[in-house]
Every structure is written in C-alpha cells, then in structure tokens.
Amino acid sequence: MASKSEFSVTGAYEYNHRSTTRWLLSHIWRYRAFAFFMLGAAIVNTSGQAAIANLVGEAFTVISQESPNLDRLRTIVAMIFGLALTFGAAQWTRNLTIEVLAQRLERESRNELYMSLLGKSQTFHDRQRIGDIMARATDDVRQLNFMLNPGINLVIGSSIFLVVPLIGIALLDPRLLVTPVLFIFLFLMALRNYNNRLGPVTTNSRDSFGKMSADLQEVISGIEVVKSSAQEAQEEQKFIRNASDFRKWFVQQGEIEARYLPLMMLGVAITLGFLHAVFLYRWGEIKIGQIVGYVGMFSLLRFPTFISIFVFSLVQLGYASAERILSLITEQSDLDENTQGYSARMHGDIEFQNVSFGYTPENPVLKNVSFKVASGQTVAIVGQTGSGKSSITKLVNRIYDADEGCVLIDDVDVRDWSLDSLRSQISTIEQDIFLFSRTVAENIAFGVPDASQEDIERAAKAAQAHDFILNFESGYETKVGERGVTLSGGQRQRIALARAFLTNPSILILDDSTSAIDSATEDEIQKAIRKAQEGRTVLLITHRLSQIRWADLIVVVKGERIVAQGTHDDLLTRSVDYRRIFARYEIDMPQSVVGD
C-alpha cells in the first residue's frame, strides 16, 4: 500500500522502501553504471597487483639461475611497469566512480527525506522533535556517503583482495593454499563476531546523537525561557549527560575494535605459510621465485585484514543511519494530497456537520460541532482558552481531519478537495507569526513567489506595513532574523497580514492575529482587516470586542461543544455563556476598545 502524502513531486524516482537494504540498493541501482565501472576497476586493480607479485617471483627465479636470461628479465620489468600503470589507472577510476556514487546517494536520499517531510501531516510533525529530524537530515545522511566511500568501496576491494590472491596462489602451486584458506576461514568467523557486537553499539550511537541534537535544538529555540528562568546550569548538566551518553557508545566501539584479532592472526598465518613454502622448496617441489610470489600474494591479504577494523564501523554507522532515515520516510501520514480531487474557485460557503475531533483518541477537543457560514460572512469564534476554537479553523484547511462528521466548503467535503486547490485558497494568520530568515519582500510573497514588487508593496500598504518597512535601512530587502525575531510583534503580524492580502484567498482565518498591534495603529489595522473581509469568508478568533460585535455570526464554544450561535445583540439577550465572556472581555480590555 502506497503511503499517504500531502505533497509529492510529479515524475519523482520511485525507491524501494520494503527494507533498509532494498532502499539503499534501489538508490545505488539508479546510478548502476557508476557501480559497474567501480566494480570492474576494482577487479582490474586487484588482479594487477597480484600479477605484479607473481612477476616479481618469476624475476627472482630468472636471477637465481646460473645464466640469467636478461631478455626475459627486461620483459618482466616492462610487464610490471605496464601493470603498475594499468592498476593505477583502474584505482583512479574506481575512486572517482565510487565518490560520484556516494555523493549522489547523499544528495538523493536527502532530497527524498526532505520531500517526504514536506508531505507529512501536521499530526506527524506534532510528534517529532525538530533536533532529531535535523540530525537525520544532516549527519545521518552524511553517514550514508561515508558508508559508500570509503566504506563499501573498501569492502568490495577487500573482498576481491581475498579471492584474487587465492587464484594466483593456486596457479603457483595448489598445495600452498592450505594456510591462506585456513586464515580466511578464521578471519571471516572473527569478522562475523565483530560485526554482531558492533551493530547494536552503532545503532545506539546514532540514537544518542539524535537525542543530544534534539535537546540542544529545544534549548536554543527556547533560550529566552532558559535565561528568564535562570536554568542555564541545569541545562548545561543535561547537555553534559547527553554528551556523556554519546561518548559512552564511542568508547564501547573503541573497546570492540581494540579486541580485533585478525591482524595478529595474519602475522601468524604469513609466518606459517612461509615455513610451509620453505619446506616445499627444500624438498625440491617449488622454486625460489614461487616462494617470493607466494609471500607477495599472501601479503595482499594484509589490506582487507587491516581496513576491516574501521571500514565495517563506517558501514554499520551508515546502515544504522539509513534505518533512521527510512523510518521517517515510511512513517504513515494521516492525509493525502488527493491530486485527482475536486478543484475549483471557492465561493467560501462553510458548513460543519456534527464534527468531532481530538488530537488523540482519548482526548477529544470537539464534539458534535455544527454551524453554517455563508460566502462573504465573518464568523467570530469565542470561548474560554482550550475550548477548541483554533481546532475548528484547522479542520477547514485540513491541517487535521475530523474524526467524525464532515466539514464542507461549497457543499463539497474538504476531504474530497484537491489539497493544493483547497489550501491555496485559504490563508491563515495566527497569533504566533512565523517568518522565514529571508527578506521582508520574500516573506510577504511567500505564497505568491512570482509576485511583482508593486504587488508586494500594495499588499504591505493594505496591511499598514509599508511605512515601517521603508524605515529599515534596506527597505523591502531587509533580512529578518529566524522566526522574525528582529521585528516587533506588531510588525510581524502586519507582514503576515500583507502575506495574506497578497494571496487573495477566498477564506481568511484570523486566529487572534491582531493581539500584538499597538493602540496607535489599531484604527488603521482595523480598516485594513475590514477591507480584507470584503468579498471573502472570514473565520475570526479574537478577544477584541470591536471585531466580535460586528461579526455576521458569533459561535460560542464551551466544553468541546458549541453552546450558542447568533449575532452579538441576539447572544447578549439569550446566552449566559456569551454574556460572561463578553463581561470578562470588557474587564480585560481598555476602555477605548470597550467603547467602540
């Protein structure tokens, strides 16, 4: 079953997600030409070195004769020189192709993960820790590169280095195979045990790194809270504990590597093999050159034995990283983009029909909510904090889906709309304004990337933002800090209003979006909002009486349900809950607002 996604790229390459190994192989298979070139070059490289060892042995045989054949010796030297050039070129080709393949694996896996994250539902992102996601998207993806090069590159090379020398030794004298074959058997047994002990350590190492990154990101994002609460020392100790845990797994990895025995085993094996060859020579079974060639080819086993102590650590780390990346990619999302769904220009009629919803099944937020909004009307949603006001608005643009009942726009269930068509015609301005670390102009034009400068400035003027933007040193090209921290709350909200005005939505959702606007500009902002309300449906969550009382419909939410709905005058007459809310607002709000 294909996984759901709120966003996908048309014509994107399809990777195999059924297992981590198949996923990695499907990435490599996409660029299989590089893999085949690398494999062929590795075979030529290793065969060339084995052939050189054999030729050196033959040269010793020629030299040891009473009347050396100098012509044959010159031929051998020329052949060695040619083979050296050949295996050198093969090694260059091998390194180049595997590096290209590794870089493409890193690039494509990062792109795939990023596209996957863009397509996940809000429910998915609510469960995630940003720092851990960033660790997977940066460090874990980078580990895939190292896994392939030098990791898999050396694994393939060392595997060939185990086979080719055996073939060469067999061609010299099959009896000489006894010691190297026994060594390779013991080496593979030791390597299996090494990998079995190393695997859990590398997995825990990657997980602890993700936890450390997640905690660090949370502290940096909430640094104002940390400082205002004087919790620097406590957070420092928490980071030290996380770093110590991360260090602990590296120490365990080092202890496993320190007990690695194959290098010592190889020294013993070469000694025994040399003694075996000497005995055969003394018995007149082989020549001196065969001993030299045998030891030279046996010594080629030093390469796979030596590099295995660290290369399999890279492979294990990369594989553990691949599992962490794939677990994010394959985690099921709640919503689907529904590309073949209904798509049309919205009129703006909204209807809730017995809608129930909860962020978790055991904690319902809304129960049997029903109301209807005609196109062009402004609806004020009021109620106590935590009563579900914002949840109502998030069901309209399918940030979340209703558990029961349905939400209709223009008499079409929002789940039947194409998600792109639905969301592109609905703009939301929330109290917690998010601005990107980009220029003011780019933030305003975020929903309309091809907007002209004139359009951007027109939207800014409508939102009463044009004047303060021009006061910046670089005007509309001023870069704001991450999340807009270099701007005041009122400035951020007016830029967000301008962003909404520019998209020209059919439905506008204002979730307490004017709470940070100062009283000196409130009249201008109210005019801008009223202008924005013209010709479109507006869902309004606010505590400002000047906006509530003039709404076409007021919906009162209490205890997960709608307890009253109507106009301001109507609700003052017949709704005790509304009168209580209204009285509280009157107490909380300045008299200049109450008297509007």
Domains detected in the chain = 20-330 (1.20.1560.10), 344-425+539-596 (3.40.50.300)
Q: What pLDDT is stored for residue 584 in this prediction?
A: 65
Q: Which of 378, 322, 293 is nearest to 22 (CA)?
A: 322
Q: What pLDDT is stored for residue 297 in this prediction?
A: 86
pTM listed for this prediction: 0.74
pLDDT digits (tens, 9 = 90+) for 468-504: 899 988 899 998 876 666 787 778 888 888 888 888 8
CB 563 within 8 A of CB 556: yes
Q: What pLDDT is stored for residue 519 in this prediction?
A: 58
Q: What pLDDT is stored for residue 257 in this prediction?
A: 77
Q: What pLDDT is stored for residue 470 in this prediction?
A: 92
Q: Which of 76, 79, 85, 93 is nearest to 40 (CA)?
A: 93
Residue ranges of the chain whose pLDDT lies below 50: 1, 587-596
Residues 6+ apart with CB under 8 A from 400: 121, 122, 123, 334, 357, 359, 391, 394
A 10 A CB-CB count for 102 gives: 23
Residues 6+ apart with CB under 8 A from 186: 262, 265
pLDDT digits (tens, 9 = 90+) for 142-158: 999 999 998 899 888 88
Q: What pLDDT is stored for residue 254 in this prediction?
A: 81
Q: What pLDDT is stored for residue 563 in this prediction?
A: 93
The first and second tokens of residue 571, run together, are 């609700």
Q: What pLDDT is stored for residue 593 in this prediction?
A: 37
Q: What pLDDT is stored for residue 594 in this prediction?
A: 37
CB 311 within 8 A of CB 158: yes
